[in-house]
Amino acid sequence: MGMSAFIVRDGDEEHRTPISDRDIDLLQFDYSFSLGDGWSHRGPESILLRGRGGQIVTSPHGYCYAQISESGPKGTRVVELVDLRAVSDFVADGGLAVTVQRKPAKVNWPEVLPPLVEFLRPRVKKRLVVEHVDRVR
């Protein structure tokens, strides 16, 4: 699969943000996880990681990450995101075994997006923004 990009066009200027082949491959899965209990979860579920509280999140589709938080003067804030898509298992604080599972899911935008942008390019005079939000089930 070749290099894909998110494209933002502002007037005559076009800005491309590359999406690596690694990310495209990882986006082609739906993720779930188990927390040592043998039950599969889609998240979010609370964990303790690196001495901080956090959650494992599997949303939007194609993503699985640990969102690590800490208390701040104005409430809780996210201090770190850990991409879990490329790991199969790890041990969280307190010896909690976490297993990440992936199930293949079809992602069409790498094939559909380039022709769509080519079709829209001459028809949009000011600004074209293509944003990947989530897959439609």
Q: What is the pLDDT of residues 18-49, one digit of tens each?
A: 555 557 788 889 999 998 877 778 878 899 99
Side-chain-side CA neighbours of 81 within 13 Å: the count stands at 7
Q: Which of 7-16, 98-107, 110-119 has the lowest mean pLDDT?
A: 7-16
**Tokens, residue 5:** 């990009």
pLDDT of residue 48: 92
Q: Are 76 and 70 in contact (CB under 8 A)?
A: yes
Q: Are 28 and 15 in contact (CB under 8 A)?
A: no
Chain-wide mean pLDDT for the chain?
79
CA distances from residue 60 to 34, 57, 118 in whole angstroms, order as listed: 18, 9, 27
Contacts of 86 (CB under 8 A, 6+ apart): 26
Q: How confident is the model at residue 102 (pLDDT cuts 50, 70, 90)?
A: very high
Domain boundaries, the chain: 5-9+13-28+107-131, 29-105
Can you give the pTM of this predicted structure? 0.65
d(CA 36, CA 41): 11
